[in-house]
Amino acid sequence: MTDVSLLEISVGTDPSGTVVALSGESDMTTTGQLSEVLAAQLTGGSRHLIVDLSDLRFADSASIRILLVAHRALRAKGGGLELVNPHPNVARTLTLLGLDKMLRVR
64, 66, 73, 105: which one binds another protein (CB under 8 A): 64
Task: Give least dist CB 70 to another protein, A.
Answer: 14
Q: Does 27 bind another protein (CB under 8 A)?
A: yes
Task: Supply the DSSP string of 19-75, one letter for each residue.
Answer: EEEEEEEESTTTHHHHHHHHHHHHHTT-SEEEEEEEEEEEE-HHHHHHHHHHHHHHH
Binding site for another protein (CB under 8 A): 1-2, 6, 25, 27-29, 58, 60-62, 64-65, 68, 88-89, 92-93, 96-99
